[in-house]
């Protein structure tokens, strides 16, 4: 497995490179965004680990550029930014996971294993079946939703979450249930990640003038569907 690690802090990057190499990964390293972007464009990596703030080009810009080109290489952000808005921005840019500095090395390795496993495991049930609730339609295979003539492009996590909601319309889904559905046991994202993902999904499927579909049940979780 090939990993690209881009971070301008040598005191962090060098030990991480050695750690990942000892785990059997083939690691390339860049210390600025310009070089990191050049390497990322080669499309020869199974995972990109990007620092958010980099000289030359930020990790956020690298990720956005890759996603605009249709490249789906998993991206893990390493960053000191830990507010809800920061998480939303990172997920919206196309990141697959987000790790806040400082972090435990074993947590980093768990995230790396989970992302690599997910990207290399073939889809168990390829289907073109569509889910429809009210005026919202989800094409699961292509990660696209449609509402009132709008085409809504979704990230992998957004599509998975929307599918979970639509398959359980009207039911209360707790934070723990959503966490278990979206992430494996090896992954332990903070509770803020769910809130960020919900906020991002709402922005896409509930624009001004459209009926609300995602309802917050305070202190418990969320309910999806038409309010009665």
pLDDT in tens, 54-75: 988 998 999 988 888 888 889 9
Task: Please give the Cα distance from 151 to 146 (Å, whole number).
Answer: 5
Q: Is the pTM of this model over 0.85?
A: no
What is the per-residue pLDDT across 170-209, written as a single tens digit (0 to 9) for each?
889 998 899 888 887 777 677 688 899 999 999 999 988 8
Low-confidence ranges of the chain (pLDDT < 50): 121-128
Q: Determine the longest span between alpha carbons in the chain, in angstroms.
A: 57
162 touches 140 (CB < 8 A) = no
Task: Please give the Cα distance from 164 to 120 (Å, whole number).
Answer: 22
Q: How many helices (H) and strands (E) would you count in the chain?
A: 8, 12
Domains of the chain: 2-120 (3.40.50.2300), 130-224 (1.10.10.10)
Helix 33-40 to helix 59-68 angle, to the nearest 10 degrees? 20
């Amino acid at each position: 497995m090939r990993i690209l690690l881009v971070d301008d802090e040598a005191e962090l990057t060098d030990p991480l490179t050695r750690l990942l190499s000892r785990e059997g990964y083939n690691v390339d390293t860049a210390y600025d965004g310009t070089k990191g972007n050049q390497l990322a464009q080669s499309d020869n990596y199974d995972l990109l680990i990007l620092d958010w703030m980099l000289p030359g080009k930020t990790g956020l810009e690298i990720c956005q550029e890759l996603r605009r080109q249709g490249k789906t290489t998993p991206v893990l952000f390493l960053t000191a930014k830990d507010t809800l808005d920061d998480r939303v921005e990172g997920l919206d840019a196309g990141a697959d996971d987000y790790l806040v500095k400082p972090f435990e090395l074993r947590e980093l390795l768990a995230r790396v294993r989970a992302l690599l496993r997910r990207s290399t495991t073939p889809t168990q049930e390829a289907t073109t079946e569509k889910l429809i609730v009210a005026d919202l339609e989800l094409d699961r295979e292509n990660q696209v939703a449609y509402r009132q003539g709008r085409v809504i492009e979704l990230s992998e996590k957004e599509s998975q979450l929307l599918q979970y909601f639509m398959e359980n319309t009207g039911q209360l889904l707790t934070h723990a249930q959503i966490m278990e559905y979206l992430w494996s046991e090896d992954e332990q994202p903070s509770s803020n990640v769910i809130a960020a993902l919900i906020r991002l999904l709402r922005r896409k499927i509930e624009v001004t003038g459209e009926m609300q579909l995602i309802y917050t049940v305070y202190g418990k979780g969320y309910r999806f569907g038409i309010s009665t």
